[in-house]
């Protein structure tokens, strides 16, 4: 049975799981997977950190935060990631990414 990843309160913000589809035609939220990960397409490849940088910038723009507030806690250069964002609530992520 797959583990569910709900958007959770972190010590100073919110944390959530992401599944990246790299080398796509456009950047954006595709939807939510069965395990509650947010599926995001990126145009950059995973290797070399290019997709990670693009993901951080996309999330910063979408969540209206500074890129320095976003940390890839687990999954650098991998499709499955755990993201932490300082200074926001889980409801902010729901409103800005999933609405």
Domain that holds residue 13: 8-98
Whole-structure pTM value: 0.88
What is the structure's pLDDT at 70? Answer: 97
Each residue's pLDDT expressed in tens, for the chain with a length of 99 residues: 455 656 665 568 899 999 999 999 999 999 999 999 999 999 999 999 999 999 999 999 999 999 999 999 999 999 999 999 999 999 999 999 887
CATH of the domain at 20: 3.30.1200.10
Q: What is residue 9's predicted lDDT score, i.e. its pLDDT?
A: 58
The answer to the question of residue 2 being in a domain is: no
Longest distance between any two alpha carbons in the chain, whole Å: 36
Q: What is the pLDDT of residue 17?
A: 96
CB 97 within 8 A of CB 37: no
Q: How many domains does the chain have?
A: 1
Burial 17-52 (b: 16+ CB within 10 A, else e): bbbbebeeeebebeebeeeebbbbbbebebeeebbb
């Amino acid at each position: 049975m797959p583990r569910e990843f709900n958007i959770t309160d972190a010590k100073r913000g919110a944390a959530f799981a992401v599944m990246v589809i790299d080398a796509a035609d456009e950047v954006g939220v595709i939807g939510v997977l069965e395990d509650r990960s947010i599926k995001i397409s990126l145009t950059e490849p995973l290797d070399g950190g290019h997709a990670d940088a693009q993901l951080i910038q996309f999330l910063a723009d979408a969540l209206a935060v500074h890129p320095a507030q976003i940390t890839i806690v687990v999954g650098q250069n991998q499709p499955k990631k755990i993201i932490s964002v300082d200074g926001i609530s889980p409801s902010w992520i729901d409103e800005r990414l999933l609405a």
